Amino acid sequence: MVIGCLAGPPFVGRKRELFIQTRGNNCMAKKIEVYSMKTCPHCIQAKGLLQSRGVAFEEILIGMNDNAAWDMLYKKSGGMKTVPQIYCDGKILGGFPELSALDKTDGLASLK
């Protein structure tokens, strides 16, 4: 089901403009999650790239010794043992190299 599509109702006039400003050109914004560690340089690079392209994301910090979180990420990602782990609408995109490759392809437009 599509709610709030730009082509017509339910958004008209000013409300429609605000919807466009906050949601971009898609009907629904993508949900980007970045699992990271505080001092991880690859995480800092990934977050910087997302920010520079205007991609909104949620950061989930994990601790180096938080075994439960690492186990969860290993399963969630399908086998990744490092951070950053970047997810788009719940699907693994990868780490910084994959993000960087996507940036070269579309400037991260597909994540908005």
Ligand X SMILES: N[C@@H](CCC(=O)N[C@@H](CS)C(=O)NCC(=O)O)C(=O)O
In the complex, the residues that contact ligand X under the rule CB under 6 A are: 37, 40-42, 81-84, 95-97
Find how far residue 48's CA is from the centre of its chain.
12
Nearer to ligand X by C-beta: 29 or 88?
88
CB of 3 to ligand X, least distance (A): 34
CB of 56 to ligand X, least distance (A): 20
Burial class (CB in 10 A: 0-12, 13-18, 19+), 96: buried
Nearer to ligand X by C-beta: 11 or 102?
102
Nearer to ligand X by C-beta: 42 or 76?
42
CB of 54 to ligand X, least distance (A): 21
Residue 60 bridge partners (DSSP):
35
The span from the CA of 97 to the CA of 15, in Å, is: 38
